[in-house]
Amino acid sequence: MPKAELHRHLAGCMSPEIALKMAARFGAPVPAGTLPELVRCMVLDSPLTSLQEVLRRFTLIAHLFVSPDAVRYAAQRAVEDAAADGLRYMELRFSPGFTSYAHRLPLDAVTRAVAEGAAEGARLTGCIVPLIVIASREMGPDVCMETFRLALRHRPQVVGVDLAGDEDNHPPEQFIKAFELARGEGLHVTVHAGEQGCADNVATAVRRLGARRIGHGIRIADRPDLIALVRDQGVALEISVTSNWIVGAVPSPAEHPLGQLMAEGIPISLNSDDPALFGITLSSELELCRRVVPGLDLVQAQRVALDHAFGDPVQVGKVRQELREWSLRA
């Protein structure tokens, strides 16, 4: 099935295989020289027992980005791996701050490298890859504003902006001005909200930041008022069952509110979030979703993703047509 994904992080695409290649090609530091050892260091396939487990992995990943050439290679490989799993459309998101910090790379060079690598991956595979730039809540509103200005300098490949990080200590209200700038210049908006933090962050992200999609948003499941808001505004939730389970946002995949939220009539796209980190693919995630919600129509889920895509409508339309032809043949 031709697949579409709206929520995938570049950092979360850094597999042990890619890390080894980056060590060999660019001298990127890795803590182990063999694939099985590196899998143990990098992949997180059961629920976190401490925050350190995930921080250690992200520190390792940040240090892989030793140069703009390494970043370019990483982005290209991320697209190639996605295309090998049947993705025909993927919005790839990345934090310029995260990608640059370990080796103090210039932000514009890093952003250009992601754009060039993704474009090369797209050219080689035919997968369409618009980019989303992420600002981190922890860095505060001024850095968020700078990050969105950076995003604007890298249009048209960058089509949207996102806010991620600690929801509880950095509520969305702090970032209103930065989002006004991004929206005013025509960038699309998605926001990580209501994942583990307060459900009301979802309402603020929609009403005050102008989010048309919400990353996760599962905390609204027991809030009829917020369910009504999201549904009535036509805001889509970007759901990642495995990710929610591993970070402890739900106790088990079976207890994920995916089925309930779908039944409420909320548009939902299904995503891998950080496929290499969790040792999954979008295909395996879709199979998991079908076990969580028996009878789930996976073709329809791809249509919903495309309906809420931020990319060029003509290109999105081509993928929609591909999906239509595939479903007629299937």
Question: Binding residues for Zn ion, per CB under 5 A?
Answer: 273
Q: Across the beta sheet with 268-270, what order do the strands follow?
A: 3-9, 87-94, 131-136, 158-164, 188-193, 213-216, 236-239, 268-270
- Report whether the peptide linkage leading into residue 156 is cis, meaning its omega lies within 30 degrees of zero: yes
**Dihedral sign (CA 98, 139, 233, 313):** negative
Question: What is the Cα 70 distance to its own chain's centre?
Answer: 20
**249 vs 323 by CB, closer to Zn ion:** 249
> In the bound complex, what is the minimum distance in angstroms from residue 12's beta carbon to Zn ion?
8
Tell me the three state secondary structure of residue 265.
Answer: coil
Q: Which of 167, 195, 238, 285 is catalytic?
A: 195
**273 vs 285 by CB, closer to Zn ion:** 273
Share in percent of the chain as helix, strand, coil (round to 5) = 55, 15, 30
> 77 to each of 27, 130, 283, how far by Cα in Å?
17, 15, 18
- Mode of pairing for the β-strands spanning 158-164 and 236-239: unpaired
**170 vs 320 by CB, closer to Zn ion:** 170
Dist. CA 285–CA 87, nearest whole Å: 13
- Cα angle: 44, vertex 50, 56; to 5 degrees: 60
Residue of 87, 122, 42 lying closest to 286 (CA atoms)? 87
φ/ψ bin of 182: left (φ > 0), alpha (ψ from -120 to 50), beta (otherwise) = alpha
Query: Among this protein's residues, is 146 annotated catalytic?
Result: no
Q: Evaluate whether 54 touches 247 at the Cβ level (below 8 Å).
A: yes
> In the bound complex, what is the minimum distance in angstroms from residue 23's beta carbon to Zn ion?
26
Query: Which residues are CB-neighbours of 284 under 8 A, at least 6 positions away?
Result: none
Determine the straight-line distance between the first and last CA of the chain, rounded to whole angstroms.
9
Residue nearest Zn ion (C-beta atom)? 273
**68 vs 194 by CB, closer to Zn ion:** 194
**80 vs 273 by CB, closer to Zn ion:** 273
**30 vs 266 by CB, closer to Zn ion:** 266
Catalytic residues: 195
